[in-house]
Homo-oligomer: A and B are copies of this chain.
Amino acid sequence: MTRHNPQATSDFPVIDTLAILGSGLIGASVLRASKARELFRRSVVWDIRAENRDFCVSSGWADVATDDLAEAVREADLVVIATPADTVGDLAERIAKHLKPGALVTDAASTKGHIARVAHAAMPEGRHFVAAHPMAGSEKNGPSAAKEDLFEGRACFITPLSGRTDDNAVAAVSGFWKSLGANIVEVSPDDHDEIVAHISHLPHVAAVALAGMLARKPDLWRDCAGGGLRDTTRIAGSDPKLWKTILEQNRDEVLRALRAYQEELHGLERALANRDWFEVQAILERGRAYREQFRQIP
């Protein structure tokens, strides 16, 4: 595991108090990664689940855990909202009046258009919301699945509202995510939603549909599955409620990506139906070329 690295953290000063709202896999990983890199002097976790609060304190990652939002954020220099996408805007509104002057707020949700606007509008003078989305996760849930290197080498979208989100706040919040090992990608909230609809939400939907179709077949078929089916459907094992929310928030872009995928499948179906083996091989070659261009993640 990575320990404190002065170079990696040079973009982000050590702060007094970090508050994490929601200590699931992502929130607890942010906490754990920040602690390993000594980015704060004191940490507070807010969670409505007592077992999550207990876990974060007993593991030594959090100094305090509470189910009182005002208490959680009152002294925070940086608040990370790591709750499901449909709750981030609401939480930003609820914490707004308790934030101290200069406080920064960021999040980690998979959709940005709605959240960036609502949370920005909720902030009082001198407090700043900078929307973020680290491309890291797992089909596992809860703080016990947290990893201190979860964000290492991963992309992290930072999605300021053009001309409205404070530049210094954007730089500071970017520095925070960068300190956790992420590669910062700054795009508009709407561009973000289009990109992740394709590279994250569509793969999810494709995996779920594959699993759902095969669920109707005899059990023996599933028991014969090799590594291909296992990998291809892994993310179908993720939390359905969480993903319903993501698809709800990014419906239009997901529909667009899904239709483009259906077009591609239809082209492959047509090539097979026509016994156009030259075209089939060209499609296979294009898929491999794409796959080979993936950058390595440490």
Contact = CB atoms under 8 A, between A and B. Distances in A.
Contacts of A209: 261, 264-265, 267-268, 283, 287
A203 interface: yes
Contact of A198 (B205, B214, B264, B294): B214
B198 A291 contact: no
Contacts of A291: 139, 211, 233-234, 236-237
A132 to B, nearest CB: 13
A204 B272 CA distance: 14
A227 B288 contact: no
A290 B195 contact: no
A296 to B, nearest CB: 11
B277 A211 contact: no
Contacts of A231: 231-232, 234-235
A226 interface: yes
Contacts of A73: none
Interface in A245-298: 247-248, 251, 254-255, 258-269, 272-273, 275, 277, 280-281, 283-295, 297
Nearest to A262: B265
Contacts of A273: 255
A268 B295 CA distance: 31
B244 A284 contact: yes
A164 interface: no
A24 B239 CA distance: 39
A237 B293 CA distance: 10
B233 A287 contact: yes
A229 B269 CA distance: 22
A267 B160 CA distance: 35
Contacts of A206: 206, 210, 232, 265
A51 interface: no
A288 B224 CA distance: 18
Contacts of A139: 291
9 contacts: A198-B217, A211-B291, A212-B268, A215-B290, A219-B293, A232-B235, A236-B291, A240-B281, A240-B287
Interface of A: 135-139, 154-155, 157, 185, 195-196, 198-200, 202-215, 217, 219-241, 243-244, 247-248, 251, 254-255, 258-269, 272-273, 275, 277, 280-281, 283-295, 297
